[in-house]
Amino acid sequence: MISITNKHLSLQDIMCELEDNSAGALSIFIGNVRNRGRSGNVSEIHYEAYSKMAEEKMREIENEAQTKWGIKKLVAIHRIGNLKVGETSIIIGVSSEHRHEAFEACKYIINNVKTRVPIWKKEISKDSQKWADGFLLE
């Protein structure tokens, strides 16, 4: 399941999506808003996406992970909107037969979501707002 959403991310729901009796391993990455950014203290982050293209790119990355590691199930959900410190912005979940594939696929997917998917974040503090530096799409 691939999704861009403005709703709270539920780890419980994602665990249910990943259930597969043939999978002996399940790897999950959770990205949270932290209280420090490149510009100093952060109180919240604004996330914005080109949702249609973002979901297409995430499906492309999913297919690559499927080809490389033969994973069983995958969930990649990115939240958009204004998120406060401690809130979850992204969850990547992968189930596979053995742990190696689950670890590697999870790492591959989060690294590629960060560099290839049209999503942007702006760090907001009490005194300033700054769009994060990022990666120009290729």
Binding region for other proteins (CB under 8 A)? 31, 47-50, 52-54, 56, 78, 89-90, 110, 113-122, 131-138
- Asked if residue 49 lies in contact with residue 90, where contact means CB atoms within 8 angstroms, the answer is no
* Smallest distance from other proteins to CB 5, Å: 13
Q: Partners of 91 in the beta sheet?
A: 30, 77
What is the smallest separation between the CB atom of 4 and other proteins, expressed in angstroms? 9
Rounded to a whole number of angstroms, the minimum distance from the CB of residue 81 to other proteins is 13
Q: Under the phi-then-psi rule, with left for phi > 0, alpha for psi from -120 to 50, and beta for the rest, what region is 84?
A: beta
Crossing angle of helices 51-69/99-116, nearest 10°? Answer: 150
Complex with other proteins: residue 23 or 33, whichever CB lies closer: 33
Nearer to other proteins, 12 or 135 (CB): 135
